[in-house]
Amino acid sequence: MAVDGPGPSARLAAGVIVPSQFTVRLIVEKSNQNKNKISPQETAFNELMDSSFEMAKKLLPFLARRRIPLIPENYHLFYDYLLGTNPELIRQINETLQRETLFTTEVSRKLYGVFYDVDSENFRAMARVGERIGSISQSIEENLSQSLESTDRFKQALNDSASQIEQGDLEVTDFRDIVDGLLTETKSALNSQTALAELIEASNKVIATLTAELQDKTRQANVDELTQLYNRRYMSQRFKELTEGDVGRFMPIHLAIFDLDRFKVINDTWGHAIGDKVLIITSKIIQNFAGDRHLACRYGGEEFLIIYSGVDGDEAARLTEGVRRKVEETQITIRGQVVPITLSAGLSSFVVGDDEQSLIGRADKALYQAKAAGRNMVRIWRADD
């Protein structure tokens, strides 16, 4: 890859800003200083923005070192790349960085189209984030150039004054003129440096806020809007990560699929608003049993999944039964009438050679057995079934 050359900025194409490493360093150093000056009233904001500062401090230097244009697509691509949650994206970016001598906008947009929907609202939101980041970077670059020019004029004024003094035979008025000139250039240099420092200080919070917005948009892309569980796309991605290489050989993995019993009757009888409430209540129960260790997602409609990792089959069965029992115990009362909620579940265990569909297929067969046996129960798939 190409390396940074001299100068405060570099442009790969008209309107595309590539932040210099010097500019990025100023932003990072200033952010470190300012984080210690935040007032007590801003403590909550600081805690929320910490992760955003950290990601910005990784992302901006990364882009600068590789002369990667600061456009929305690259900000999103390399945010996810450094986040490390998408192995296939990481692989393709690594191959592209090794293959391409310059990461042009054409290269990045082609790669972006492989992983993201450019017509989605998430992309449009990401574009707005990238445009604002680019505008901030450009403003800093312009102010940095002005500051350097002012510093150069000050140095030149010093040299000129020294030459005049060395020549001798100067009148008092000549010395006054020299001092006045130096004072003028000193004020100009100080004003430029102050303006640059103030711009960097103001940019810190903006960049952290935008990065937090990007984190939120990334989370939204992975989460089901109604239930706030992970969606099917993210589940598929995480399944690949859990079962890649030797991971699945040494870490036990189990999958439970849940299906609300007679959910259509609930919708038809009480309406979709109550049906949505049932889905939300069920999803919260499932998430509570999954906790932070296991992955819960909405698979589609009234179906949910939990991928258990690092526990044995007995523990996976206990948690699955716990979900079933808790849902059964939960009551929703509508106009004095209790709406019964139950679900059935099927559980299967990962074996070497499984893919997502084969593992889910076995759990689905066990779920069918639970439905056929009368519903509101858990069935575990056995090899002899």
**Two structure tokens written together for 136:** 């901030």
Residue with tokens 């001598």: 101
Assess contact for 157 and 189: CB atoms under 8 A: no
Helix extents (H) in 330-384 = 356-372
Provide the 10 A C-beta neighbour count for residue 336.
Answer: 5
**Two structure tokens written together for 225:** 């809007």
Distance CA 230, CA 224 (A): 6
What is the DSSP annotation of 290-340? HTTTSEEEEEETTEEEEEEESS-HHHHHHHHHHHHHHHHH--EEETTEEE-
Find the helix or strand (DSSP H, E) in which 10 lies. strand 9-13
* Catalytic residue check, 142: no
User: Which residue type, as a one-letter code, is found at position 75?
Assistant: Y
Distance CA 69, CA 65 (A): 11
Q: Which of 73, 141, 185, 302 is catalytic?
A: 302
| DSSP three-state, residue 86 | coil
Q: How many residues does the chain have?
A: 385
CA distances from 350 to 313, 359, 365 (A): 10, 6, 15
**Two structure tokens written together for 232:** 């099917």
- Active-site amino acid positions: 302
